[in-house]
Amino acid sequence: MEHLKCLIIGSGPAGYTAAIYASRANLNPVLYEGMQPGGQLTITDAVENFPGHPEDLSGFDLMELMRKQVEKFNVEIRTKVCVKSDLSNAPYTFTFDDGSQVTADAVIIATGASAKFLGLDDEKKYMGQGVSACATCDGFFYRKKVVAVVGGGDTACGEALYLAGLASKVYIIVRKPFLRASKILQKRVEENEKIEILFETNTEGLYGENGVEGAHLVHRKGEADERHYDLPIDGFFLAIGHKPNSDIFKPWVNTDETGFIITEGKSTKTNVPGVFAAGDVADPTFRQAVVAAGSGCMAAMEAEKYLMSLN
């Protein structure tokens, strides 16, 4: 079985940054790209808030630049998906989708988190063309436009308030007859004149020629007074949560109730010695590329210290 000094699982901003720092520290890292090379950022139409890039570029292009920088440091990048881990004893063992296995002394988990979607075909059709799962990432492009946010929790209300500072009108589409958000957020949403809450409403689909132009909605679905109608909008934001890609590590590393990996204080250390978590898989709060990149740097530096302690 192949043995690695430093294994990095995931290829978003956290994984790529970790690879750069680990290589510069002579850790000879090997990076496994996973199911979505480049991570969630690759489906973002335009990125204008990543430092050092004054010109707008797509998320895909930004991740391609990061990948080239990783390759510059001669990091081996493998296009396989990790399907099983055994962190019971060091060195730790990992199994991939082709049946291959490796062991590693230090491991950086950078598998990210996947936004939850409604499951509509139109969500995929209009992704990057009006459909987004990150108001902070894409809200700027909807200045003085009409948008809708799906969800009734803290995330949805927070994103609606953020978008209200940019858009001309914000609808919150809520499946239930009430909001689940904290009372203070509910109050702020209800008092904001730009925000309108559509209770007991489900989205059936989206429409538009060259991007989202509206949503097909149904009010009080299944009830005697069920009503179908179309709502003209320019942007459709999903805010029903994120699922961290941590399942294969759960038997060993501590996670919160949602599945985000728990790290120690201002560190990327997990409860398993030599195993570090960086990026969205351990970040239920910010979910920003620049934050993920910073944590990737931290993970690599902490992995270096851990390996030095073994020697």
Catalytic residues: 134, 137-138
Locus of tokens 């989202």:
212
d(CA 307, CA 297): 16
Sheet order of strands, 201-207 included: 201-207, 214-219, 227-232
d(CA 130, CA 208): 10
- Tokens, residue 37: 């090379």
- Tokens, residue 143: 């200045």
Three-state SS at 165: coil
- Tokens, residue 61: 């292009």
| Residue 199: half-sphere exposure toward Cβ, Cα within 13 Å | 6
Three-state SS at 65: helix
Q: Rounded to the nearest 10 degrees, how much is the dihedral formed by the CA atoms of 100, 104, 110, 115?
A: 40
Q: How many CB atoms lie within 10 A of CB 33?
A: 21
Closest to 263 measured CA to CA, from 293, 309, 298 = 298
- Angle among Cα 21, 286, 46 to the nearest 5 degrees reads 80
- Tokens, residue 102: 């490796």
